[in-house]
Amino acid sequence: QLLGERRQPRSFWTFEYYQAFFDVDTQQVLERIKGSVTPLPGKNFVRHRLRNNPDLYGPFWICATLAFALAVSGNLSHLTEKGAAPAYRYSPQFHNVTIAATLIYCYAWLVPLALWGFLRWRQSPSTFTLLETVCVYGYSLSAYIPAAVLWLIPAAWLQWLLLAVAALLSAAVLALTFWPLVRANGRATALAVVATVVSLHALLAVGC
C-alpha cells in the first residue's frame, strides 16, 4: 500500500521541499569536488558526477570556505607585508569577509541564473535545470580554495601561477560541461558563450 501511493509534491514553504537539495553524503561531495578540478574530454560534469541528483550542500560550503580563506589570507598577507614597519599597528580587516562573501555568492548564483536563462531563451536541447547549473558553478570554485591558502607565500610569481592553474582547471570543467548545450546554436554563438563563461571565471579569479 505504501509503495502504491503517489508521492505528493512538497509545498514551497515546507522544510521537506528544501531537504531534497541537501540530500547528499560525504563521498558524493568528495567525488564532485574531484570532478570539478579534473577536466576530462567526454566526461560531462552534470551527467557523470551529478547523475540527476544535484545538491546545494557542496556549493554552499565551498563558497563559504572560499570567502573565509580569502579573508584570512588577505589579512595575514597584509600583516606580512606591513608588519615590518615600526609605526605599523595591526588591526583585523573584518570587512574583507563581507566583500569576499558578497563577491563569491553573487557570482555563484547570478552568473548561473543568467546562463540558464539564456539557454532557455535559445531553447537549447537537453538544457540543464537551474539547480544543476548552480551546482556546477558552486563546485567549480573548489579549485580556488587551496590556491587562496597558498597565496600566503610571499612570492608574486607563485601567486599568479597558482591563480592561473586554478582558473584554468575550473574554467575547463565549465567549458566542457556547457559546450554540448550551446554548440547546437551555431559555432559562433557557442564560442561566444563559452568565451564569456571562461572570461567571467577568470575575472572572478583576478578579483579574488
Alpha-carbon gap, residue 127 to 123, rounded angstroms: 8
57-82 and 130-140 are packed helices; what angle lies between their axes, rounded to 10 degrees? 30
- The reported pTM is 0.84
pLDDT truncated to tens, each residue of the chain (208 aa)? Answer: 444 445 556 665 666 767 777 888 899 999 999 999 988 887 888 888 887 788 999 999 999 999 999 888 887 777 776 655 666 666 667 777 888 899 999 999 999 999 999 888 877 666 788 999 999 999 999 999 999 888 888 788 888 999 999 999 999 999 999 988 888 778 888 899 999 999 999 999 888 8
Alpha-carbon gap, residue 43 to 41, rounded angstroms: 6
pLDDT in tens, 105-157: 999 999 999 999 988 887 766 678 899 999 999 999 999 999 988 888 878 88
